[in-house]
Amino acid sequence: MELIAVSLARLVAFLEIDGLDPRGSMSAPEGFKHIADRYSFAKGPQNFDEFNFEKGVNFLIGKLGDINIDKLTLFGDGLGIDTRSSTDDCETVLADLLAGVKELHSVAIQPSRRMHLSNVIFRSSLRLSSMHTALQLVADQVAKGVSADFRQEIQFEPAAFSLSADASQIGLKPSPFSIERRVNTPFSENTYFSAAPLGTFAHLELLQQFETALGA
């Protein structure tokens, strides 16, 4: 497996945003400016309409050391951090943010829950039809019918695989796990997109295990 790109690494941490400044010692604009300055965000909330925790208060294009932060979003019940490097880097940004809160307000905040999302683009010789012979059987029959209609040979093969959580059993739905052919890319280029509700490195390790299991 060859990693082409991490297209998204996201951490969502659930916590009381008001707890970041428990005594209200800063106004909202002051607090937002402090965050924008700490991470050198190119854009932060500028006006009252953007101070909306229901929609999300967004900070765009920042940096912590050598970590590029695509977006930090504050909600009333938590925050989201997006990078294109890894969810570990998102965790580093969160730890730094909470350390800064402790320095300012002498309060230690810990998230009650976390969610991860990892999106990657990779190249692999895996074939999803290897999961079960029934998949190739169906693909061959579909190809036969369509080729007859089109009067030319057209090949079909399984192009996507997905796993979803049973949302009826939980209040918060994790993102699905999926592997699919890269859109608008010839099958011959062996390029795939995968999304997972996992940390980036756990996601990549799982893809490697999946590839090995299929004999790719």
CB < 8 Å & 24+ apart, contacts of 20-24: 20/101, 20/105, 20/107, 20/109, 21/101, 21/104, 21/105, 22/105, 22/107, 23/105
The angle, 0 to 180 degrees and rounded to 10, between the axes of the packed helices 200-213 and 87-105 is 160
* Residue where one domain finishes, among candidates 79, 100, 116: 116
- Residues 112, 14, single domain; the answer is yes
* Residue where one domain finishes, among candidates 77, 100, 116: 116
67 belongs to a structural domain: yes
Sign of CA dihedral 63, 96, 203, 198: negative
- Residues 73, 129, single domain; the answer is no
| Burial of 84 (C-beta count, 10 Å sphere; 0-12/13-18/19+) | middle
- Residues 112, 130, single domain; the answer is no
The residue assigned the tokens 């050598």 is 66
Mean residue pLDDT of the chain comes to 94
The partner residues of 137 in beta bridges, in order of sequence, read: none
Distance between CA atoms of residues 33 and 124, nearest Å = 45
87 near 114, Cβ under 8 Å?
A: no
**What are the DSSP calls for 27-83, one per residue?**
-HHHHHHHHHHHTT-SB---SGGG--TTT-EEEEEEEETTEEEEEEEEETTEEEEEE
142 belongs to a structural domain: yes
3 belongs to a structural domain: no
pLDDT at 4 over 90: yes
- Residues 91, 137, single domain; the answer is no
Looking at per-residue pLDDT, the higher value among 174 and 62 belongs to 62
* Residue where one domain finishes, among candidates 116, 135, 150: 116
pLDDT at 156 over 80: yes
Looking at per-residue pLDDT, the higher value among 124 and 106 belongs to 124
2 belongs to a structural domain: no
**For 117-134, what is each residue's pLDDT tens digit?**
999 999 999 999 999 999
Average pLDDT of the segment spanning 97-120 = 93
139 belongs to a structural domain: yes
116 near 10, Cβ under 8 Å?
A: yes
**For 184-209, what is each residue's pLDDT tens digit?**
999 999 999 999 999 999 999 999 99
Closest CA to 69 of 56, 87, 86, 82: 82
